[in-house]
Chain A
Amino acid sequence: MGVEIEEVARTIKRPDLVQMYYYLRLTRTLEDRITALYRQGRIVGGVYTSNGMEAVAVGYASALEPDDIIAPYHRDMGAFLVRGITPGEVVAQYLGKRTGPTKGKDGNVHIGDLKRGIIGFVSHLADNYPVATGAALSFRLRGEPRVVVTNTGDGGTSRGDFHEAMNFASVRKLPVVFFCNNNQYAYSTPLNLQMAIPNVVDRAKAYAIPGEIVDGNDVAAVHLAAKRAVQRARSGEGPTFIECKTMRMHGHSEHDSAKYVPRELLEEWKKRDPILKAEQWLTRLGYGDETLFREVEERVKKEVEAGVEFAEQSPLPEGPEVLDGVFAD
């Protein structure tokens, strides 16, 4: 599950790791800011964060080429940001503004934008697994060297759609990488009531898909695993399943106090915070120190504040805009 320093030093260049660190910080700061807005009653609807799990989305999204596609789930804010969705657009989406990626039609993490290679998230968990498979199928049919990465939670892997997608992708060796963000709870449901196996990765065996367990709090480890899987997919060897072990540090959504999670478990995982972990790598590799960390922190704060301002000043859509866009032209 862990990775050696030699491997990281050899395979991840300084600017790449610094950039991943930047996205981890950006994700955390942005989501914390949105949570604060929610507490002030300025956001309608729910707030779902990836607090404590930022390394998964940042790690996989930064392993992709611009032409590749992601089909994320609701705790992949980092992936949206890596793909070029701006903090301002995210806040606008949360506020239901016209400048959000869905122009107020949808909210919060339901972001999609094909121009930036993002297949929109559907609440119905695991629904994006078959869709990602279909995108990969099109690349295979057209002989394009592109790859699709999709993600879901441990809970989502109990859905039939998850299994149907895995099977089809494996039979046809499609260029898709299946991620699972195993944060040990699905809403209030612990893993042992979700499945009778200790590791989600075991589900991949039934479909002859190679699986791997990764420390989901280590952005370097996630990134390297994603790179390997993407490479496999691109070279025609078919899908890989990657289980990221992590912990959801907030409630399912911000209205949920998550009393069902033992506090000790949270304390333990707090020590493994992905931002802390990334700072450790940067330090150990001689890529950066406190000065760099403070610089990045200041930079993302400014970007998030600018984003909030942009979103707040953006117009709301007007009622009749509801009728636009049901059909394509």
Chain B
Amino acid sequence: MTTTAQAQREVTYLEAIREALDEEMARDERVFLLGEDIGPYGGAFRITEGFQDKYGDWRVLDTPLSESGIVGAAIGAAMMGMRPVVEMQFADFISCAFDQITEVGAKNHYRWGAAVPMVIRAPFGGGVHGGPFHSECPEGWFFHSPGLKLVAPSTPYDAKGLLKAAIRDNNPVIYFEHKFLYRRIKAVLPTEDYVVPIGTADVKRPGRDISVITYGAMVHVALEAAESLTQEGLDLEVVDLRSLIPLDKQTIFESVKKTSKAIVLHEDNKTGGVGAEVAALLAEECFDCLDGPILRIAAPDTPVPFSTPLEEFFLPKAGDVVAAARKLAAY
């Protein structure tokens, strides 16, 4: 980048999402938004603030409080050639739309060839004292439902590029955006149009000794752990999945073949989560190159608690990664 003005164009994770929506709406008039309070109010997190003034109240639709109805409508519109982007106010409320997503949206193309190019933005995750109904990580529910693509960016760059890719994709994509990162993570983004292809993982930190395979807010936890372990001479490689479905197996396998050790880390409950699948794949495909057990770090199998000490205990932390890394290093 040549000019300093451009070089300093730092945006937050939240602003990156806003830019992606804005640019896609300007680029393609089939793109429209629907959700609760996304119009004049700008959405619970103010991501679409000002959008209705710019694009009108038929392209930025304030809907009734009916998640199933909203998603069903988006599916219908998508099949008729539109590009709807649904905002779930909180990812937790996606359970109300579960039936439309898994039974209709996910299966249409497989059953009778009708593509459903729809995006559901789902603000997910904890660390914000939201309690059991405003902090969930529901990706596991959909990980098991063929026909959906699932993405979960961890940086502003990926947030913007993956949302653009999701909007341009011909399939239903659930876009898990992490609430904790909204205003905490910043980066300088390219000024030109770009996409981050769905289905590609990214090595966020190359390392020699142990692979930490993760996504979402936990990428930053892994990076923090990696930083602190350098003093001990341990070099972690942090693989950010970015896409959960399709999963970039190649990048995961390559990393583990290099390091011979793997930690799988996520914020969601442990049992039956994305991490379980990654660990199973590694056991199947990389057994010969493993120098220790595959360790999983995840939240316990409980709802997300409200109270501060409980939530702190619940969420995986850099210290957990450090402890797991030391244990693995000893093998």
Contact = CB atoms under 8 A, between A and B. Distances in A.
Interface of A: 44-46, 96-97, 102, 104-108, 110, 122-125, 155-156, 158-161, 186-189, 193-195, 260, 316-323, 326
B141 to A, nearest CB: 14
A155 B302 contact: no
Interface of B: 36-37, 39-41, 44, 62-69, 90, 92-93, 95-96, 128-134, 300-303, 305-310, 312-314
A194 B133 contact: no
B187 to A, nearest CB: 26
A96 B310 contact: yes
B65 A186 contact: yes
22 contacts: A46-B130, A96-B129, A106-B305, A107-B129, A107-B307, A110-B132, A123-B132, A124-B96, A158-B65, A159-B66, A159-B96, A187-B36, A188-B62, A189-B36, A193-B64, A316-B309, A318-B309, A319-B309, A322-B305, A322-B310, A322-B313, A326-B301
A105 B93 contact: no
A90 B307 CA distance: 14
Of the listed residues B66, B96, B129, B132, the one surrounded by the most CB atoms of chain A closer than 10 A to its CB is: B66
Contacts of A158: 64-66, 69
A301 B77 CA distance: 55
B304 to A, nearest CB: 9
Given A159-B65, A194-B65, A106 B306 contact: yes
Contact of A97 (B131, B307, B312): B307
B64 A189 contact: yes
Given A187-B37, A322-B310, A123 B300 contact: no
Contacts of A189: 36-37, 62, 64-65
A319 B310 contact: yes
Contact of B131 (A106, A125, A187, A321): A106
B307 A195 contact: no
Contacts, number: 122
Nearest to B313: A319
A42 to B, nearest CB: 12
Contacts of B302: 322-323, 326
Given A102-B306, A104-B310, A322-B314, A125 B37 contact: no
A188 B37 contact: yes
Contact of B307 (A46, A194, A260, A317): A317
Given A44-B129, A123-B134, A322-B300, 8 more contacts: A45-B131, A105-B305, A105-B306, A125-B65, A189-B62, A317-B307, A323-B302, A326-B301
Nearest to A43: B129
Contacts of B67: 159
A144 to B, nearest CB: 31
B134 to A, nearest CB: 7
Contacts of B133: 110, 122-124
